[in-house]
């Protein structure tokens, strides 16, 4: 599935405005999916949502990209703060990638 990925199609949707943002959002969501699958055998619910699409692959990154393509993720990035020296400081959480609340959204 990844070899079929067309980055321009994902950027045209307007969910993410740069290739960097796309990579960051997909990587963050892939980590969340990894955490979700790691806790399945333990029986603990950490509030991590599982895959929001019917995946064609078991690879977390592929699932994350399928979720982006299907419009199932909301992506937002925190603004950087600039201190008095003019250097940008990174906030504690650089970005937030979360599945949409409603499963019926297109």
CATH class of the domain at 2-99 = alpha beta
* CB neighbour burial string for 25-55, b if at least 16 within 10 angstroms, e if fewer: bbebbbebbeebeeeeeeeeeeebeebbbeb
- Return the domain boundaries, the chain: 2-99
Q: What is the rounded (10 degree) CA torsion for 53, 55, 56, 57?
A: 150
> Which pTM was predicted?
0.58
State the residue for tokens 């937002």: 76
Digit-coded pLDDT (tens) for 55-68: 777 788 888 888 88
List, in sequence order, every beta strand (DSSP E) within the chain: 73-77, 81-82, 88-89, 95-99
User: Mean pLDDT of all residues in the chain?
Assistant: 69
Q: What is the largest CA-CA distance in the chain?
A: 49
């Amino acid at each position: 599935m990844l070899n079929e990925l067309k980055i321009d199609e994902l950027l045209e949707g307007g969910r993410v405005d740069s290739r960097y943002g796309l990579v960051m959002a997909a990587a963050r969501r892939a980590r969340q999916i990894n955490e979700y699958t790691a806790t399945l055998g333990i029986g603990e619910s950490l509030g991590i949502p599982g895959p929001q699409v019917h995946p064609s692959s078991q690879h977390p990154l592929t699932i994350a990209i399928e979720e982006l393509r299907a419009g199932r993720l909301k992506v937002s990035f925190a603004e950087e703060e600039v201190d008095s020296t003019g250097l940008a400081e990174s906030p504690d959480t650089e970005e937030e990638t979360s599945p949409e609340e409603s499963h019926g959204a297109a």
